[in-house]
Amino acid sequence: MTDGADETLEARLLEAVGLALGGDWQAAHRIVQEHEDDATAAWIHAVVHRMEGDLGNALYWYRHCRRRLREDVPVQVELREIEAHLSR
Q: How confident is the model at residue 6 (pLDDT cuts 50, 70, 90)?
A: confident
Write down all domains in the chain, each with its CATH number in brackets.
4-86 (1.25.40)
Quote the radius of gyration of the chain (alpha carbons, Å): 12
Total-model pTM: 0.92
Query: Which residues, in sequence order, are CB contacts of 25 under 8 Å at separation 6+?
Result: 19, 48, 51, 52
Choose among 65, 69, 66: nearest CA to 35: 65
Q: What would the pLDDT profile of 33-63 be if each residue is shown by its tens digit?
A: 999 999 999 999 999 999 999 999 999 999 9
